[in-house]
Amino acid sequence: MTQADEVSVLILAPHGRDGTVAQAILGEVGIQATICLSLEALVAGLNGSACAVITEEALLSADRRELADWVKLQPPWSDFPFILLTHRGGEPVEHLTALLGNVTILERPFHPAVLVNAIRSALRARQRQREVEAHLRERQRTHERQALLIRELHHRVKNTLATVQGLLGATARSTHSVKEFYHSFADRIVSLANTHNLLTEDYWQTAPLIEMFRNELAHYDDGAQRRITLDGPPVELSADLAVPIGMAVHELTTNAAKHGALSVPGGQISVAWTVRNLEAGRRLAIGWVERGGPPVEQPRRKGFGSTLLHRVLTHQCRATISIAYDPEGLSCHMDIPLLEERLVPEY
């Protein structure tokens, strides 16, 4: 129940005219009041009210256990205000005031202004309690976000270190000199960093697919001739997909720059992707096609790039990969299941 829902003052005064008189007094100053016919009805309405007015005799003649349980089970921020109407000259029953806790005593008969002032004070107090509740809830949400971010950070650091370790070993096996190793390894680390930059812009959650392609391919395009074509709908990749796909895009780009369409002035690369909605979930299909480069031949050995495409994407992303070494240009097709849930909630 929110503060906006607390629009009623409850009144329990089953004997005499106290209930109707109190309701009329409050109505004249614009305070909504509801008369309850029993203590059970009052307890049932407490969660949706901001204050309760109860006559002493109504409590003395009723089973108070349900009310006592409700008062005890209030959340930490809540101290519900009660106004107890007693008879002039008499001492309020101590166990009743102890039962209610946050209670204001009014002796009957009372001046209407006394009741109005007591109710307004109670309503202001309840409003402050609701503000405390909202503050506590926001703190809890902030704590939960921070816990999720820390958990995701640990997850990402662990995966990143494993990726770097894999890049180190694979680059060492695929290069033949320290200089070649340095340049190849440095380029791959830069590509990995670029992908992570995209992720950190969204609190380590998602990275735009088109930005990953632009990071790798944009500087190969020139104004005179459009060498790079990117075509597809907006797709946000989760961190667990963005890192391996980003590395795969880097390897395809590196291979095209060394041996394929980007190694000659007239070569072109066309990348197109679609998203299909299937019963098992959404799937991302990416097609990479090179044209205008040197004639392509089937490689004699499997290099690091093709190893990464097949092993990492297949095992880590559960992707299906196909590479065709057509004479007119290499083409690669990837079919990847998309993760639907974000680890960290959106802000």
Does residue 13 or residue 280 have the better pLDDT? Answer: 13
Given a cut of 80, whether residue 165 has pLDDT beyond it is: no
CATH superfamily, with its number, for domain 175-337: Histidine kinase-like ATPase, C-terminal domain (3.30.565.10)
Q: Are 3-136 and 175-337 in the same CATH fold? A: no
pLDDT value, residue 127: 92
Closest by CA to 109, choosing from 22, 211, 8, 31, is: 22
| Alpha-carbon gap, residue 233 to 71, rounded angstroms | 56
What H or E segment, with its residue span, contains residue 133?
A: helix 112-174
Domain ranges of the chain: 3-136, 175-337
pLDDT value, residue 308: 63
Provide φ and ψ at 227, rounded to 5°.
-95, -20
pLDDT value, residue 16: 83
Q: Count of alpha carbons within 13 Å of 170, Cβ hemisphere only? A: 21
Does residue 109 or residue 6 have the better pLDDT? Answer: 109
Closest by CA to 2, choosing from 115, 134, 138, is: 134
Instruction: For the chain, give the percent of residues with pLDDT over 70.
Output: 78
pLDDT value, residue 153: 59
pLDDT value, residue 220: 77
**Per-residue model confidence as pLDDT tens digits over 97-156:** 899 999 999 988 889 999 999 999 999 999 999 999 999 998 888 787 677 656 655 655
pTM for the full predicted model: 0.50
Q: Are 108 and 37 in contact (CB under 8 A)?
A: no
| Alpha-carbon gap, residue 178 to 175, rounded angstroms | 8
C-alpha distances in Å from residue 288, one per residue of 7, 184, 246: 62, 22, 14
- Six-digit token pair at 163? 């990726």
Given a cut of 60, whether residue 96 has pLDDT beyond it is: yes
pLDDT band for position 222 (cuts 50, 70, 90): low
pLDDT value, residue 224: 64
What is the pLDDT averaged over residues 332-341?
84
**Per-residue model confidence as pLDDT tens digits over 23-82:** 999 999 999 999 999 999 999 999 999 999 999 989 988 899 999 999 999 999 999 999
Looking at the domain 3-136, which fold is it?
Rossmann fold (3.40.50)
Burial (CB count <10 Å: 0-12, 13-18, 19+), residue 254: buried
Concatenated DSSP letters for 170-186?
Answer: HHHHH-SSHHHHHHHHH
pLDDT value, residue 119: 94
pLDDT value, residue 123: 94
C-alpha distances in Å from residue 233, one per residue of 34, 62, 210, 347: 56, 67, 9, 24
pLDDT value, residue 36: 93
Given a cut of 80, whether residue 340 has pLDDT beyond it is: no
